[in-house]
Amino acid sequence: MTCLHLLLTLGFAVSLGTPVEIQRPRGVPLTKKQFYEENKPFTCLDGSRTIPFDRVNDDYCDCKDGSDEPGTAACPNGSFHCTNAGYRPMFIPSSRINDGICDCCDTTDEYNSGAKCENTCKELGRKEREVLHKMAEITKEGFLLKRQLIEEAKKGHQEKQSKVTDMQENKKQLDEKVEALRTVKETAEQPEKEAKERHLKAWEEQKAAIRLEKDKAKMAEAFLELDDDADGFVSVSELQSHAELDPDADGTLTEIEAQGLLGGAEQVDTSTFESVWPKIKDKYHSESQPEEPAPVETPPDEVKEPVVDNDSEPYPEDDISEEEDEDDEDEDDYHEDDDKAPPTVKTPEKSDEDDEAMPPYDADTQALIDAAQKARDDFEEAEKALREMDDQIRNIEKELSFDFGPDAEFTYLYNQCYELTTSEYIYRLCPFNRVSQKPKFGGSETNLGTWGSWSGPENNKYLLMKYEHGTGCWQGPNRSTTVKLTCGKETVVTSTSEPSRCEYLMEFTTPAVCQEPSNADLSPHDHEEL
């Protein structure tokens, strides 16, 4: 029975004024009066036996179903009917008759117990009518909101379908634009590539020439350094003065080894030295170039090795700490010196690198590079726009594919989230997406389930939402949440609970489930008995 139906029923009951009492045995509802006629024997309602009518309500149980004692506590399985004029009629177990406790608001259950009961049916009826009136108003207003939601959803659905159609047409044009720009890009990149390769080839040739000149200069310098007697020849004995040229690395350059480096000759002139130079140039140390200072060549790890060795000795912890402190100070001093040393040692290297840096592109090559870069930028911009359009189309089509109710009344919940804060947690419901739980005072979020399906009863599946496959419980199942939807003017999460381990229940009010109020006239037989 709807809220409006109950409200009209109670209103009708009150409007009649003083109810007319229809004579029947105590505890018998009006619907069963025809079975209790005083002038006829009484047949138990289960048909088990027939007894004289004067044995009805005689405080002795004759019928197995207890139907002969509707107004006494004689039968353990009997029931007593409370008329409750002005409120709702009800049945109570026969055992509560005359037990000293007022169960019927009209006090009829305590007719012989001496209990002082007060008839509260009118007051209860008034309060219930107020509640039902409020519920009826909420249902009415909620349904009006629902109609607006349906209209907005219908309009939005049409707009989205139209937008998808337009975007798909634009996408075709954008596809063509991307392909055209791809061709422009590839066309511009080919001459750019060729120009860069030419520039690089020229630079490689130039570098090779520079290196060759440097190598010749080093060779001439080495020849002069080796020619100790300045006779225009480098002899075996003169070559032996450079032990670093020792082929077998035994520390001594023998006469035979030196002669072998000179190609078997006792001495060579400048022209012949050109064939000797490739064999010795990698090992040769020029007398004019000072050796690099040892601290610069020593890696930091090697400086720290003595500290590691000290740590390996069985020193007390205090001593180790002092040693490490002293070593740290030494290391700091070393790094300070290291900061000062590199400029004098590394300056020539930087100069060489600067000399070997590739020169800027010429104007024609740079123009080709700029043109190719512009073509790449245009292509990437168009390609990005195409990806974004694909994403938009995919998202809209996904939204249109959802089941938002018979009239799409739940559409407005999409892409929205609603929160409920309790003493410990913040619960967050994002319809058609997920449910989550987060500690109120900090901590990570827990997934209580992602959108599964509508799971209400057959007559209205849109009363329950099911969210599944949430974060797994410790040694338990994955969390899941059932969302129960009820009619309300506002869209809000009203409560959460955990009826079973890892299974949550969330109550959610929304105008989308409000049903149209019934305005049908009620015929007399539809009213509750008085």
What are the domain boundaries of the chain? 21-118, 157-279, 411-510
DSSP strand pairing (503-510 vs 464-468): unpaired
pLDDT band at 290 (very low <50, low <70, confident <90, very high): low
Residue that wins the pLDDT comparison between 353 and 316: 353
Residue 306, helix vs strand vs coil = helix
- Segment 39-68 mean pLDDT: 94
Amino acid at 123: E
Quote the pLDDT of residue 21. 53
- Segment 208-230 mean pLDDT: 86
The CA distances from residue 216 to 222, 273, 399, in Å, are 10, 11, 76
- Gap between the Cα atoms of 294 and 281, Å rounded: 22
The CA distances from residue 255 to 214, 238, 261, 301, 335, in Å, are 30, 10, 10, 40, 45
The predicted-structure confidence for 422-450, as pLDDT tens digits, reads as follows 999 999 999 999 999 999 988 899 999 99
Class of domain 411-510: mainly beta
- Segment 243-254 mean pLDDT: 81
The predicted-structure confidence for 478-487, as pLDDT tens digits, reads as follows 999 999 999 9
Superfamily in which the 157-279 domain is placed by CATH = EF-hand (1.10.238.10)
Tell me the average pLDDT of the chain: 82
Name which of 121-125, 130-134, 369-373, 382-386 the model is least confident about. 130-134
The predicted-structure confidence for 83-117, as pLDDT tens digits, reads as follows 999 899 999 999 999 999 999 999 999 999 889 99
Residues ≥6 apart with Cβ < 8 Å to 514: 138, 139, 142, 143, 145, 146, 487, 488
Is residue 168 within 8 Å of residue 394, measured between CB atoms? Answer: no
Pair of tokens at residue 487 = 């009619």
Quote the pLDDT of residue 428. 97
The predicted-structure confidence for 391-409, as pLDDT tens digits, reads as follows 999 999 998 989 999 999 9
Strands (E), 108-251: 234-235
Name which of 148-152, 336-340, 361-365 the model is least confident about. 336-340
Quote the pLDDT of residue 522. 33
pLDDT band at 244 (very low <50, low <70, confident <90, very high): confident
- Segment 346-373 mean pLDDT: 75
